[in-house]
Amino acid sequence: MERSLLRLEYNKVLEKIASFVASQLGREKVLSLRPYPDLATILKEQAQTTEGKELRRKEPGADFQSWFDLREEIVKATRGVTLTPAELLLIGKTLATCRQIKIFFVKRKGQYPLLEQQGTSLGDFTALERKITAVLSPSGEIMDQASPELAKIRRQLVNVKQQIKERLERMLRAPAYLKYFQDLIITVRDERYVVPVKQECRHQVPGIIHDQSASGATLYIEPMELIEPGNEMRRLQAREAKEINRLLYVLTQAVAERQAELNQA
């Protein structure tokens, strides 16, 4: 058979078909297809293809392309490796597509029976999808409302940062300090708020030097009076990172618990 398939350029036909498939899993399935051994299977597959063509003709807006290959993410989750927001976002999008496919065929019950059988047999991942969307925004950011603790920490961070900026702005506007600054701007170095001080005036603005300009003419100093507020900001940032890691771990565990069903979807 292999020699006959080679003469027929069977692999080239599969590659051509695979080029129209949206998902990596779908492409792999197409490329692995072998000729069917019996007429009944052939007729069933032809009927499915006919249904698919009819669906595309009647429902040109039906598009379920947000279906991603999640095998790597599922393996990582089952091994206890905490998934990143980007990885969890892909899972969430795929689960949303899974839900949309089921709804699509339920609303068109009996119109595409063979495709409906496959579409409605997909697992129910609504709860897992909701867990992910409760933490991640559509762009993959960890939302403030992901947990009460995270919301509290971020509110405190906003307040501390605002206090630091206000105190620095007052310093920049103070007549006694004006001559010491290279520019009247607030900037950040090593995640600390600093002001640009002329090198020759460094002793007039006590604090920690976090950086200097390429020429050495400007020193970026965190004023002494703002070191403790700066430390509080760093402590809050550490708590924020810890809470984010906890949330991602919880979501990863939720994915791992459904790994068998996800692999079948």
Residue 22's CB is within 10 A of a number of other CB atoms, namely 13
pLDDT for 255: 97
CA atoms 20, 30, 42, 1: torsion sign: positive
Residue 176 three-state SS: coil
**What confidence tens digit (pLDDT) does each residue in 216-243 have?**
999 999 999 999 999 999 999 999 999 9
**Over the Cα atoms of the chain, what is R_g?**
29
Dihedral in degrees, nearest 10, Cα atoms 113, 115, 120, 122: 160
Tokens of 116: 């409906």
DSSP state of 172: H
- 187-189 and 192-198: which strand pairing? antiparallel
CATH 1.10.1420, domain 148-246, yes or no: yes
| pLDDT given at position 22 | 76
| pLDDT tens column, 101-110 | 999 999 999 9
Measured distance CA(87)–CA(50) in Å, rounded:
35
pLDDT of residue 63: 75
pLDDT at 177: 87
Two structure tokens written together for 219: 């020193």
Bigger pLDDT: 60 vs 138: 138
CA dist., res. 186 & res. 7, Å (int): 72
Q: What does pTM read for this prediction?
A: 0.83
Name the residue with tokens 């072998």.
34
Q: What are the tens digits of pLDDT across the range 61-71? A: 787 777 888 99
| Backbone dihedral angles phi then psi of residue 208, each to the nearest 5 degrees | -100, 130
- 189 forms beta bridges with 192
Looking only at the bridges linking them, the beta strands covering 187-189 and 218-223 are unpaired
pLDDT-derived band at 60, boundaries 50, 70, 90: confident
Tokens linked to 60: 């040109």
Exposure class string for 178-190: b at 16+ Cβ within 10 A, else e: eebbbeeeeeebe
Residue 63: count other Cβ atoms within 10 Å of its Cβ. 10
Q: Which of 102, 95, 139 is nearest to 118 (CA)?
A: 102
